[in-house]
Amino acid sequence: MTMPYRVSSQHVTYVFGPQIRPVLEVPPQAVIVCETLDAASGRIRTQEDALTLSYPPEQGNPATGPIAVRGAQPGQTLAVRIVAIALGPCGCGRVKRGGIIFDELHPPAAVLTPVQDHTVAFKGLTFPARPMLGVIGTAPAGEAVPTFYPGPHGGNLDINAVRPGATVYLPVSVPGALLALGDVHASMGDGELNGGGLDIAAEVTIEVDVRPGLPCRRPLIETDDAWSVCANGPTLPEALRMATREMTTLLATRLDLSREEAFILIGAAGDARIGQAAQLPGLDATAYLQISKTILPSVFDGTAAPGRQR
Ligand code: CA
């Protein structure tokens, strides 16, 4: 077996942008192990650090990379399969900057959570880890975007479907795509309602490939049984509206339906899910809309589900 490529956590970026020099170039179908720092860039080592450390949002959420994928050209799609996420030894959850009931609490507060054998220890409780990737994106063609923000390029999606086994499809806007990723959580509830989940360092193994362009202006996630369209907006309803609009286009295009028929199909079978709705100052909410593969088997051709009747 070919040895995977490796990118150390010394190679991080705090922005997605066309001017950021890639730290690695790989061919399509390469497997890459990315060491990722936690969302606080490894600066939290003690309970005291967790209680006192603060930094501007644009100095958090480091993303390992960027990685250039040879041959990826604007208009194509970058497929990133999350092969595995190996967690570091300790996660951290905090009440520090915000969260949906922040104004009702007495911050700061923090819990350091040792993680061993895929199990999280939380103040005497234990529960299974649910590793997921908060930040994954490609470079936009225009102005650089801090890794703190979500957008059409991906970025700080905080969507629980981005977990081992999933494939994330991102737009290629500049040659090589310039992929970067990070912000792993040992576990994050849907909505990430305290604004952080359990932040943790990790090693993320990915496989990258280049695909044709998609009829969708937002990142897509493929899991075993579903497709999800990612979206963001100043409020959760606005994020859901964007996800619905994009899924309507995708279904109409791929299943040969009118937009009205596609919207009715979403009403019948689309599952709206919350990514991040912590209401942190200046940060969009994220949402995603899932549709089963029994309805939409593939986004790359017009193949209809078996048994579909017109
Ligand atoms: Ca995040």
For 65, the domain range is: 7-53+61-71+81-149+174-207
pLDDT at 215: 83
**84 C-alpha to ligand 1 centroid (Å):** 19
pTM comes to: 0.96
How do the pLDDT tens digits run along the chain, 310 residues long? 678 999 999 999 999 999 999 999 999 999 999 999 999 999 999 999 999 999 998 899 999 999 999 999 999 999 999 999 999 999 999 998 899 999 999 999 999 999 999 999 999 999 999 999 999 999 999 999 999 999 999 999 999 999 999 999 999 999 999 999 999 999 999 999 999 999 999 999 999 999 999 888 999 999 999 999 999 999 999 999 999 999 999 999 999 999 999 999 999 999 999 999 999 999 999 999 999 999 999 998 744 444 444 4
* Closest listed residue to residue 6, CA positions, set 29, 26, 34: 34
Helix (H, G, I), strand (E, B) or coil at 59: helix
Please name the residues in contact with 186: beta carbons below 8 A apart, sequence gap of 6 or more: 87, 91, 113, 115, 120, 129, 130, 131, 197, 198, 199, 200
* Closest listed residue to residue 82, CA positions, set 170, 150, 176: 170
**258 C-alpha to ligand 1 centroid (Å):** 36
Helix (H) or strand (E) holding 221: strand 220-222
Q: Which ranges in the chain belong to alpha helices (H)?
A: 47-52, 236-255, 259-269
Please name the residues in contact with 260: beta carbons below 8 A apart, sequence gap of 6 or more: none
CA 75 to centroid of chain Cα atoms:
21
- Residue 119 and residue 126: Cα distance in Å, rounded? 7
Residue 240 CB coordination number (10 Å) = 19
Domain count, the chain: 1
**183 C-alpha to ligand 1 centroid (Å):** 6
pLDDT at 304: 46
Helix (H, G, I), strand (E, B) or coil at 21: coil
Let me know if residue 220 belongs to a domain: no
Let me know if residue 198 belongs to a domain: yes
**139 C-alpha to ligand 1 centroid (Å):** 17
Amino acid identity, position 6: R
Q: Is 103 exposed, middle or buried (0-12, 13-18, 19+ CB in 10 A)?
A: exposed
Let me know if residue 136 belongs to a domain: yes
Q: Which residues of 185-194 are buried (b: 16+ CB within 10 A; e: fewer)?
A: bbbbebbbbb
**97 C-alpha to ligand 1 centroid (Å):** 13
**212 C-alpha to ligand 1 centroid (Å):** 28
First to last CA, the chain: 47
**181 C-alpha to ligand 1 centroid (Å):** 11
Let me know if residue 232 belongs to a domain: no
**38 C-alpha to ligand 1 centroid (Å):** 10
Let me know if residue 303 belongs to a domain: no
**198 C-alpha to ligand 1 centroid (Å):** 10
Q: Is 283 exposed, middle or buried (0-12, 13-18, 19+ CB in 10 A)?
A: buried
Let me know if residue 110 belongs to a domain: yes
Let me know if residue 11 belongs to a domain: yes
Which pair of tokens denotes residue 199? 């932040």
Decide if 154 contacts 136 (C-beta within 8 A). Answer: yes
- CATH number for the domain spanning 15: value is 2.60.120.580
pLDDT at 14: 98
